[in-house]
Amino acid sequence: MRELTYVEATLEALDSAMARDPSIFVVGEGIGERGGNFNTTVGLYEKYGPERLCDTPISERGFVGMCAGAAMTGTRPIVDFMFLDFILDAFGELVNQIAKMQYMSSGRLKMPILLRGAIGIGHSAATHHSGSYYPIFAHIPGFKVVVPAIPSDAKGLFATALQSDDPVLFLEHKSLLFNRGEVPEGDFTIPFGQARIAREGADCTVVAIGSMVDKAVTVCEKLAEDGVAAEVIDPRTIAPLDTATILESVHKTGRLLIVDETFQPCGVGAEIAAQVIDQGFDDLDAPIRRLNGAHVPTPYSPPLELAIVPEQDDIEQNIRDLLAE
Amino acid sequence: MAYEVTMPRLGWTMEEGVFGEWLKQDGDEVQAGDLLFTVEGDKATQEVEVFEAGILRLSASAPAPGDVIPVGALLAYILQSGESMPAESSQAAPADSQPGQEGTVPQKAGVEPAGQKRLASQRVTADGRGTPAISPRARRVAAELGVDWTQLTGSGRTGRIVERDVRAAAETVVEPVGVDMSPVARRMAAEAGISPEELAAIRPGGRIQREDVEAAIAARRQPVPASETAAQVVAHSRIRQITAQRMAESARTTAPVTLTTEADATELVALREQLKSSYARRGLAVPSYNDIYLKLTAAALQEHPVLNASWGDEGINLHGEIHIGFAVETERGLLAPVLRNVPAKSLRQVAAESANLIEGAHQERLGSDAMQGGTFTITNLGMYGIDAFTPIINLPQAAILGIGRIVCKPAVHEGEVVPRQMVALSLTFDHRVVDGAPAARFLNTVREYVSEPVLWLTG
């Protein structure tokens, strides 16, 4: 099968949908002629023109609010935040308007808005360009939160997001954007709330999120040489969360590690652990472990940056500790 | 479903409110939108409306005017007809939770004898933390495979028994110690914390059986002080809770005064004997003394309507009809079914109806309506050999008549000391509702009627 980068995969899905559906348009900084800071809209300006690829000033709250209004009128806005960190400037519009509008209108108004941005730590982007924040959005009722880990998932989930009548946060880790992988041609969708088993195994379950999936798979391949069969699960969407697949895996293995770059307190790992304790207590053979990025603002210094992100060695040590419990 | 009436939050910062008063009474039918009670604020008294229609039932912890109540605290229930009040704050017996013990002692169905549990908690393993820790999964697998994990050594990081330990044990039938024991004996010994070596000393060389372990457990249990084994909490039954609530409320809110007197029941006894033989001959329900007292009391209440009354916030409610409740002791507790319109009924009807009510009370098939609406209550402790006592008023009624045993003793009758059948009468009345003199006049009338029952039963 042909290979595409992660960002090319989403671009393919976006291009196809825009060709079909004239109500889709993109707003953001540098997404017009420039084609997006991360190449998310390369070539689309030439095809669809400035009205559907609308460059904006630096005014997140303004254009997010505008897109919320546009979505209510029946269009499909895509807000491209470039770095997701700047979504925080529009937090009030997101939580108080976008997430609640369908509820407040008793379903009479839809909110088909796609909010995308690059997340994650890497490349010394420093503290204002390294955030992920998805646990915050998964906490709010009304949002779908998507964190694809591989190019083919990025394409299929992006296509699903473009069909959703609910607001979707589509979060692309910077370190994944230019990874290559096999991507099917033509249109296809991957449903939200369906985890992917990235690697099968019966000794322990590793739930890895976003950029941690590839790292976990690499570590587990290495551990297989020592006779350890670890299963790696990529939830693909945080909201909705596929707890059934995780529970199924823990039923098999009895041991669970959750690897996530975002902060540990009140995070996705805590939620998964609580769900497993709640519904799968009798399957647990060991305490649930979590491995997270450090609970600190992201440093600029490359060695410090490296130190706060879970790396392969950390994952390996955590799996070994989990098996020794 | 029972709708809970709670203390509302009347402002963002309000955490508790001063309860004003009920604007509806316990048992009242309420409509959505009715004003139910008042809450006293800093400057004004606010009336709180109810959002649900039904019957208002005050909870056991219903507040009194002036009580400071936290926001959200339960005040009352709104029930639908036929619905009973949910049991409040079911105070489960406090678990005998000893740190480190929960989840590590093998759980048996039913209650473990206190002594055995105590001994089990004393069992110490190599790591000094009591019985070994086991993962939930290992515990589940052990149950599936029938492995007695209490004898296993855990291979987890902290000595926890994990799944692999249980599976290993299931594969190799291990005899952890060189003592020959039956499986049942081994399990019992493990649960009781008695080592196989200890048992081997009892029966050297022989196979340890269940009886040997039981004997060892019994021998150990003896030194346990009685005070530790006797601790027991009987959970409140519904009737206990309601009785406690009613009695406490009555004791708290009424101004009770008890008057006692003695009536000459010689004629009453003679009448009862006569009725007994003639009713029984015809296969009719024989009127009990209680039935006769019901009729006589009703007649006295007709004479003194001020006693057939109840306290209301607006004023004294004088009841037009006479419905008399009578206390019935049942296995579940005290019940007071109500006999309605007593004056309108013949003694024969009263006897038949009260027999029905008593049977219903014993068989737990009396509806709550059969126990409501009384205007006066009689309680008879004569059958237990009691003379005078101080009954507690059955709210909201004004008074209750306690009847003692009928006892033959010397009395002055027509100027001579002769043996007479005497009965003590105890009237407790609420001094809020009625004063001493009218209450005394009423009791005196009852006394007269008891001594000349024929006159008043036929009147």
Q: Give yes or no for residue B122 having a pLDDT over 60.
A: no
Alpha helices in B266-391 (DSSP H): 266-281, 289-303, 347-362
| Residue B225's pLDDT band (cuts 50, 70, 90) | low
Catalytic residue among A8, A129, A172, A173: A129
Whether the CB-CB separation of B292 and B451 falls below 8 Å is answered with no
Whether the CB-CB separation of A84 and A170 falls below 8 Å is answered with no
- Give the residue, B51 or B86, on which the prediction is more confident: B51
Is B313 a known active-site residue?
no
Amino acid B395: pLDDT: 85
Helix axes B289-303, B266-281, angle to 10 degrees: 120
Kindly determine whether residue B156 and residue A283, on different chains, have CB atoms separated by under 8 Å: no
| Residue A259's pLDDT band (cuts 50, 70, 90) | very high
Residue to substitute from A276, A281, A285, A318, interface B, most B β-carbons within 10 A? A285
Quote the CA–CA distance of B119 and A157 in Å, as a whole number: 60
Give chain B positions within 8 Å (CB) of A286: 135, 156, 160, 162
Amino acid B130: pLDDT: 55
> What is the overall mean pLDDT for chain B?
80
Least confident piece of the model among A43-52, A53-62, B315-324 = B315-324
Cβ-in-10-Å burial (0-12, 13-18, 19+) of A75 comes to: middle
Give chain A positions within 8 Å (CB) of B157: 321, 324-325
Give chain B positions within 8 Å (CB) of A283: 136-137, 140
Give chain B positions within 8 Å (CB) of A282: 136-137, 139-140
Least confident piece of the model among B186-195, B323-332, B380-389 = B186-195
| Residue B112's pLDDT band (cuts 50, 70, 90) | very low
Tokens of residue A23, six digits = 């109500």
Amino acid B246: pLDDT: 82
Range with top average pLDDT, A67-76, B155-164, B182-191, B403-412: A67-76
Q: Considering only alpha carbons, which residue of chain A is nearest residue B163? A: A285
Kindly determine whether residue B162 and residue A285, on different chains, have CB atoms separated by under 8 Å: yes
Q: Considering only alpha carbons, which residue of chain A is nearest residue B135? A: A285
Give chain B positions within 8 Å (CB) of A284: 135-137
Q: Give yes or no for residue B118 having a pLDDT over 60.
A: no
Distant-in-sequence, close-in-space partners of A257: CB < 8 Å, separation ≥ 6: A204, A205, A206, A207, A288, A289, A290, A291, A315, A318, A319, A322
ipTM of the complex: 0.74
Read off the pLDDT of each residue in B228-241 and give the average, rounded to a whole number. 71
- Give the residue, B178 or A88, on which the prediction is more confident: A88
Please name which of A235, A290, A237 lies closest in space to residue A266, comparing C-alpha atoms: A290
Read off the pLDDT of each residue in A259-267 and give the average, rounded to a whole number. 97
Q: Give yes or no for residue B29 having a pLDDT over 80.
A: yes
| Residue B198's pLDDT band (cuts 50, 70, 90) | confident
| Residue B106's pLDDT band (cuts 50, 70, 90) | very low
> What is the overall mean pLDDT for chain A?
96
Quote the CA–CA distance of B432 and A225 in Å, as a whole number: 90
Please name which of B432, B427, B431 lies closest in space to residue B444, comparing C-alpha atoms: B427
Q: Check if CATH label 3.30.559.10 holds for domain B255-458.
A: yes
Give chain A positions within 8 Å (CB) of B135: 254, 284-286
Q: Which residue ranges make up each domain of chain A?
A: 3-182, 196-324
Amino acid B320: pLDDT: 86
- Give the residue, B5 or A148, on which the prediction is more confident: A148
pLDDT in tens, B275-331: 888 888 887 778 889 999 999 999 999 999 999 998 888 888 889 899 999 999 888
Give chain B positions within 8 Å (CB) of A254: 135, 137, 162-163
Q: Give yes or no for residue B181 having a pLDDT over 80.
A: no
* Shortest alpha-carbon distance between residue B220 and chain A (Å): 34
Q: Do domains A3-182 and A196-324 have the same CATH topology?
A: yes
| Residue B396's pLDDT band (cuts 50, 70, 90) | confident
Q: Give yes or no for residue A219 having a pLDDT over 70.
A: yes
Tokens of residue B164, six digits = 């692999």
Element (H, E) at A181: strand A180-182
Read off the pLDDT of each residue in A277-294 and give the average, rounded to a whole number. 95
Q: Considering only alpha carbons, which residue of chain B is nearest residue A283? A: B137
Could you give the 3-state DSSP secondary structure of residue A224?
helix
The backbone torsions φ and ψ at residue B292, rounded to the nearest 5 degrees and listed phi first, read -65, -40
Amino acid B241: pLDDT: 79
Kindly determine whether residue B157 and residue A254, on different chains, have CB atoms separated by under 8 Å: no
Quote the CA–CA distance of A63 and A68 in Å, as a whole number: 8
Tokens of residue B11, six digits = 């402002």
How long, in residues, is chain A?
Answer: 325
Q: Give yes or no for residue A231 having a pLDDT over 90.
A: yes
| Residue B222's pLDDT band (cuts 50, 70, 90) | low
The shortest CB-CB distance from B137 to any of A282, A321, A324 is to: A282
Quote the CA–CA distance of A280 and A260 in Å, as a whole number: 21
Quote the CA–CA distance of B382 and B275 in Å, as a whole number: 19
Kindly determine whether residue A282 and residue B156, on different chains, have CB atoms separated by under 8 Å: no
Q: Give yes or no for residue B101 having a pLDDT over 50.
A: no
Q: Give yes or no for residue B125 having a pLDDT over 60.
A: no
Task: Determine what percent of chain A is predicted with pLDDT higher than 70.
Answer: 100
Quote the CA–CA distance of B380 and B397 in Å, as a whole number: 17
B387-402 burial code (b ≥16 CB/10 A, e <16):
bbbebbbbbbbbbbbb
| Residue B208's pLDDT band (cuts 50, 70, 90) | confident
Q: Give yes or no for residue A282 having a pLDDT over 60.
A: yes
Distant-in-sequence, close-in-space partners of B67: CB < 8 Å, separation ≥ 6: B18, B19
Q: Give yes or no for residue B152 having a pLDDT over 60.
A: yes
Kindly determine whether residue B137 and residue A325, on different chains, have CB atoms separated by under 8 Å: no
CATH number belonging to domain A196-324: 3.40.50.920
Is B362 a known active-site residue?
no
Taking the C-alpha atoms of A143, A144, A146 and A152 in order, what is their torsion angle to the nearest 10 degrees? Answer: -150
Kindly determine whether residue B137 and residue A324, on different chains, have CB atoms separated by under 8 Å: no
Q: Check if CATH label 2.40.50.100 holds for domain B3-79.
A: yes
The shortest CB-CB distance from B137 to any of A284, A321, A324 is to: A284
Kindly determine whether residue B135 and residue A281, on different chains, have CB atoms separated by under 8 Å: no
pLDDT in tens, A203-216: 999 999 999 999 99
Quote the CA–CA distance of A63 and B434 in Å, as a whole number: 78
How long, in residues, is chain B?
Answer: 459
Whether the CB-CB separation of B182 and B207 falls below 8 Å is answered with yes
Read off the pLDDT of each residue in B20-31 and give the average, rounded to a whole number. 89
* Shortest alpha-carbon distance between residue A288 and chain B (Å): 12
Tokens of residue B359, six digits = 């049977």
Catalytic residue among B96, B127, B369, B435: B435
* Shortest alpha-carbon distance between residue A282 and chain B (Å): 5
Q: Give yes or no for residue A308 having a pLDDT over 70.
A: yes
Q: Considering only alpha carbons, which residue of chain A is nearest residue B156? A: A325
Amino acid B315: pLDDT: 85
Give chain A positions within 8 Å (CB) of B137: 254, 282-285
Quote the CA–CA distance of A302 and A123 in Å, as a whole number: 8
Q: Check if CATH label 3.40.50.620 holds for domain A3-182.
A: no
How far the first Cα of chain B sits from its last, in Å, is 49
Least confident piece of the model among A84-88, A93-97, B97-101, B414-418 = B97-101
Range with top average pLDDT, A246-260, B158-172, B442-456: A246-260
Q: Which residue ranges make up each domain of chain B?
A: 3-79, 114-222, 255-458
Kindly determine whether residue B162 and residue A283, on different chains, have CB atoms separated by under 8 Å: no
The shortest CB-CB distance from A254 to any of B137, B157, B160 is to: B137
Tokens of residue B105, six digits = 């002692």
Read off the pLDDT of each residue in B157-182 and give the average, rounded to a whole number. 77
Q: Give yes or no for residue A95 having a pLDDT over 60.
A: yes
Q: Give yes or no for residue A11 having a pLDDT over 70.
A: yes
The shortest CB-CB distance from A325 to any of B136, B140, B156 is to: B156
Quote the CA–CA distance of A84 and B97 in Å, as a whole number: 50
Please name which of B296, B291, B345 lies closest in space to residue B446, comparing C-alpha atoms: B296
Tokens of residue B14, six digits = 């309000």
* Shortest alpha-carbon distance between residue A280 and chain B (Å): 9
- Give the residue, A122 or B1, on which the prediction is more confident: A122
Task: Determine what percent of chain B is predicted with pLDDT higher than 90.
Answer: 25
Least confident piece of the model among A295-309, B86-100, B203-217, B354-368 = B86-100
Catalytic residue among A8, A12, A60, A172: A60
Task: Determine what percent of chain A is predicted with pLDDT higher than 90.
Answer: 98
Element (H, E) at B54: strand B54-58
Amino acid B43: pLDDT: 59
Q: How many CB pairs under 8 A join A and B?
A: 32
